[in-house]
Structure 1
């Protein structure tokens, strides 16, 4: 019974605890019920614009929502429009449509290695033993190289105008009757001179002359005269009629004045005492008319003047694209030419134009080695010169795979090199030897520049050179390939040829363009400015250090700045960020390793010297 008392006490305690919990719950529920509507009421009576910055009840985006059953408000069309007009969208479209597809050579090492791994996969899964087996270990390294090349050129055609005469001429036979009354006495002589003018240039076929009296004079005998005209001398007498002239084939010119000399012959009597004076009076008052009648031929022209245009191009226009670049290179005016004695003229605002075209080229530039390497693929393309939306010159980045191989024994999971060329395949990674040598070579090259001027200390100084771009009838001396293959390049000067060779050596940096020749205020020939450096190291450090890291410009096409790098600038360049890959090929090509026979002889000589030193030569 003793156990009953504690049990009852426990029940009482539990009942009291339950009553207390029930009271607490009722109080909490009552409080929650009284305050449950306060938050909703506060939200309903609050102006959102007073507590939310920039709040608006009708945002512009609401125009794209037409409700559950409505459309999208044209947001898809507007998105497509923005994609086609936005610069970034155009760049994406151009990259997918214009960039050539990346070509991967099926014979590349990384492809062949994958095939070999697939073919020999059974050796991996069929279990390995602990005995030594001969193994060839390969390690592939991917490195980036840069080069540049022309992808298009601006070439020009000369369009020249000249005056031509079109049509033909024909011959017509005509007659002419001249009445000659313009008579004058020749000084004090008893002779007269009569002048006459032909209206057009002609070839005479026949001719005649006569004196006609109207009315007849009171005397009946008339006058006798000798007349010299048109290389003829004939006699005229009153009432004798027309006298023929021997003028067949004689040429007379339009507007030229001819004369006839009339001399009285054998006159006597009172009425004839002054025949010359009498004849002059008769001619002037019309009593006497002096006639000249001719039949002749004239050349009648049906010709007309016109302007013809001829074009001279040094390239195939079928693959070219015309640009808006057409300038006048020969000012306008009036020009003439003569045909069959007649002058024809034409007036033009310009007599020669230089028309620009964009011509695609298949130049490899200094990328030929990388393009021919089956283990190199294009990783990036950057247009460095453009004409409108067309790229003319680009810088290409190639990613090249180099595979290092070594032969050895695999014994119990440990690889033992046998070939002696395992440095690149032992898993230790790149030792950085090439980079270290490149940096040291760069410092040494900088020291060579300092020798010349120890006051204004600058390193890697370049030289500014120009080349002329194509114009009407002139070669493009800024091409990156073709030197020696094109006869037109013979017109290029020594600086331009030096630029061509420097491009092939990868020691140039393109600065910009400027006008080289202007006609009537319009540029008809441009020039390109380059900074040419003494070697690849100088170009690499100037380009990647000065330009890309320090953002120090090379100037402009009008004023290139190829100065050296100052000491503070040199100290500010982070050489760890510079890619020296272009220099490594020169480094490997120029290193001189003695042959094995020389090395063996050197080892023997050193051993013999040490033995002699220890034994005293005994």
Structure 2
């Protein structure tokens, strides 16, 4: 009966519970975050007299992930039975007289009245109460990583060059620049050949104002006489092969070759004074060369084309006709395009560890950040942040201006889900894990959350990619991946890694045949979060180079600089909540209803 009466005490205060609830909720919001802020930098030795860092009670604490109570329950039971304090409490409880409650007490009568009017108060049957639905959307950010589409370009530029081609043509030369000299009584006349070639025909024109005394002449394999102005065909010259600059000489002598002397002197004066002129006409087959222009292409690629697939070609210098002059002869050449830019895809994008968020229509891409770059500055791998929406619905009962939340869901819809518990547990777990690492070392160079460098290979031709973040089991090329690489893939799926970079691990004759990617792998999500967001994100300490990853642990000094309240433990929340065996709200509500019903039945007896 006493138990039933105690339960009925809740009746009189039901009407005022809303204000008490609001006061408690407001107070909780005011002190939110003060706990973790207060313990940062706290030195217990300075504030707590007689502080002992390792009391006997530490044997009961096995760490955040420890199971069981380490004997705490057994020791407590023993102390209760044998200790003075336990004995005193037991005796007081056994000898304490029972409280006698009158069923006519005002507070009991008021409680019974509330029970009788329960449906009209909270059951939406009274005129003063109405139910109202409340909905709320909350957004949670999730970070994942994936390969990006890598587009690289080759350029092809043209240069005009050419080749000489041997040709021949018939040319006619008219030579008048004769020189004259004497050889005894003979007159010697000479002229220089302007071009090499073979003579097809030759003739000598003599122009004179005076009689030449039937001078006998010999020139270019031809003998003839000169009297008055005339043109002599040099039949003996046909077929002669001449070289450029060669001097052709002939002789003449008056009197049909008898050389009278004085007449030759007179003729010589006529020739040197220009009153008598000689003109040689040569028709020659002359060898020549013709410059034939052609286009040579020079390609420049900052990568190995074997790694990529040609996707597009763009003309960067429109085509047309170009002209020039070579050795006095013009040339021209026409092209449809004088320069190209070829686009290759050297890496295809995949969804990596982002697949679940890509498939979820409630998630949208909020931010992207490059994880590492290629040697040419192209982003190869990125971190993607997705914002995922979750909706919470609840029902409130409005009675006389007061709002009552019947099952707690409406409070979530009004105030939003609280991650205070998850954040607190995550931070404590991180600190506990760090403390465990530190305690295990007991050395000077103490570090926590140490990782290991891991590598996976990618064939340059793209056939086998053991660094895939997704699609394992679907690619034939993955059969060549080692067990370590498969284990690394699982660690990436479990969000235990940090991407460091990519480098060429095998090169032959300047061509990269195999690439490798490097990672830092950690033992837990907590270690990964503290390393990536704390060490790298807050303290800006690098994870080393792609060839030599630096996966060292975090020093005590660095741990003190990390702001744990600014770390995003969302990935750890999943594991935390998945390991909890908490009944759902429906089961809890039904159990409470059954207990209340049982108590009311007992109270009515």
TM-score range, shorter chain: 0.3 to 0.5
TM-score (norm 2): 0.43
TM-score (norm 1): 0.42
